A and B are shown apart, each in its own frame.
Chain A
């Protein structure tokens, strides 16, 4: 149990996938390891609890992946979503190492499955965790116990004793009490700051108060703040994050995957003024969901409304919140709190612009588009004319923030004067901004966490052995 007098080789701050990968690989090299997880056991694992897969390159079909996904293609995908805002060396390292990640996890007890129902678009690129991220965490914590790793839950690192890039000890708040623990190395893997609304407000202004946080409420960024205050170099912009559009009725924190809405490509999306603001049919939802969080965040009141009719209601994954329903567009508008005349006008304009006939096909980009609208809907544009009409409210759902600490290829933290820290490494969301300058590629967060967690653990263990 908790023994603050014990001196560890390695202190791992955080309890998610990256933290446990670091702890496990360090312990496998013989290091004594303490994991400090801020959450209680039932909420352990940070955002990893809500994950379901990772993105892995592979040269041919595997037991759970079809075809192949080359490193070059992976890198191109990353360049496309980040618009080139990435550290190419680290990105290529993460992608090359991603090939070995499923096998490394499997060797430690994790099992994978093919893509889940409704996620066929990921069947080639993302092996899924059998049972999801919490099942992965169960495997990691069981394995950690076997390796003799100490885990303290309800234990947050609240202070760092760092001297010119050299880590001495950490101040902890452990189950309500202050404690101090010394270690010869630190791995910082305590996530982003997305659950810290005040910090989000610094970047987004009051709009941030309307954001929903899809994951753990424990990612307050306090470790990140301390590292930056102690001289670690910053990477990434404070307003950059992985943000998707989710059901506005989702809980403020921790709603996870079940709060998503996949209806956008088959709907029109209007803002609080009942006006459309972006091409809903630009591409398949898995390729566009990650831009819609920011799109909605930029709308008045940070809210949007997906409007669809009875033709479209069964074309997407079921949602946990029932839609508003009405037999008229005006009636639906009233139920959603929109101006009925304005929504009717928007729907009428849209329907008139859907004049182009052509086969509707949800399985391909069918090119069935509107003409003359600003913006146009460029695929799957069918008139909204078959009652009952349905409406879902949308809000930005923040998954994780990208502002973090700079690291090198060894996952070692770089200080503001460009020198590497003596004995501090970082892994996971706290350093993902090195690779993700903006945008998101489904599953890459877990790849970054695993790859750099392993590296951080190995390097930290090698450091303490010397």
Chain B
């Protein structure tokens, strides 16, 4: 690539919606929004439609924003007079699902890794298998085969299986990489799909709406979880998953402080903060992900982007196994199973970290950013 090419590429990347401009679903999303904007019956379901009504034309950035603002509650699909078999054949939940994944790929960093969103389920599981294998072989071979099946108790027991430095280094490396990649992705997203005039209060409000999954409530009756009936199942399962994940994350953070700040080494007692947080979080995560998985299996196929389900299943399953192996580790940490359980649990954790920027997890980041832009727009331009 010549220097001029490099400059041109860089310039294209700087342009609004640059990376998204080639998304294959943009055309269908634009056609859909133009028809929806002349109909507006769904205005009461969610913030997407009022946001649409603030516009007459839809740039790539607008469409990326609207797609990421969509919570996929499917209320609009079941209410749509233009859904198939109508000749207009609108399918907004599916179209926006597709465009969302295309936006994840477009804004992924490094740019080439956006391709991982194609056949994402396969890649995530290959990655998990690789991480797991590397880690087990590493533990078993590099340390001592007998260590894996021994019984270890007392402070520092875990580090007998996987040395402290190794564990910390792997954690920092994988998690640090994920955080870096997601920050860059977020910046790239905001450059293309973000809006002006977002204030601190807007972000706080957006976090509140994300944290309560307010818009999975639809207009109050919940989502069309499975069919034309409304229900709160998806909202509760999602809340359990999200807060379960955050509690587990809090558990790890507290444990880090206890280890480094106070010099108390894991394993911790049943009543310690990390174990309580992790146990509650783990149970919520297990139930939440199992519920989401079940709803996905049950749901009508038509308004879904079926070919993208691999990504959803991979992420849900990874979270589920992190939670289940974490709980198993807690219950069996004083037995000879601890060595292998620890290796398996950490394998899932490290794989989850590595996959964070290249899987379903990023929806939380882009959704929150879309909400922040939307909150600002609601404040600046209320719909009358």
**A positions within 8 Å CB-CB of B:** 40, 42-43, 49-50, 52, 111, 113, 116-118, 120, 128-135, 138, 142, 251, 254, 256-260, 314, 317-320
Contact = CB atoms under 8 A, between A and B. Distances in A.
Contacts of A259: 38
Contacts, number: 89
A439 to B, nearest CB: 25
Nearest to B40: A116
Given A117-B50, A135-B78, A314-B56, A258 B45 contact: no
Nearest to B38: A258
Contacts of A260: 38
Given A42-B84, A116-B41, A118-B40, 6 more contacts: A40-B85, A116-B40, A129-B41, A131-B41, A133-B81, A260-B38
B82 A258 contact: yes
6 contacts: A42-B84, A43-B86, A117-B53, A131-B42, A258-B39, A258-B88
Contact of A113 (B34, B85, B87, B219): B219
B384 interface: yes
Contacts of B384: 117, 120
Contact of A111 (B41, B220, B228): B220
The listed residue with most A CB atoms (<10 A of its CB), out of B44, B53, B82, is B44
A129 B75 CA distance: 13
A320 B87 CA distance: 14
B38 A317 contact: yes
For the complex of A and B, the 4 pairs showing the least CB-CB separation, nearest first, are A132-B41, A131-B79, A113-B44, A135-B79
Range, interface on chain B: 20 to 34
Interface string B337-349: 0000000000000
A52 B42 CA distance: 10
B43 interface: yes
A158 B42 CA distance: 36
Contacts of A129: 41
B43 A258 contact: no
B383 interface: yes
A134 B79 contact: yes
A258 B79 contact: no
A258 B228 contact: no
Contacts of B37: 317-318
Given A117-B383, A138-B78, A142-B229, A320 B41 contact: no
A49 B38 contact: no
B42 A257 contact: no
Given A111-B219, A111-B220, A135-B78, A251 B87 contact: yes
Interface in B194-238: 219-221, 228-229
A415 to B, nearest CB: 37
B328 interface: no
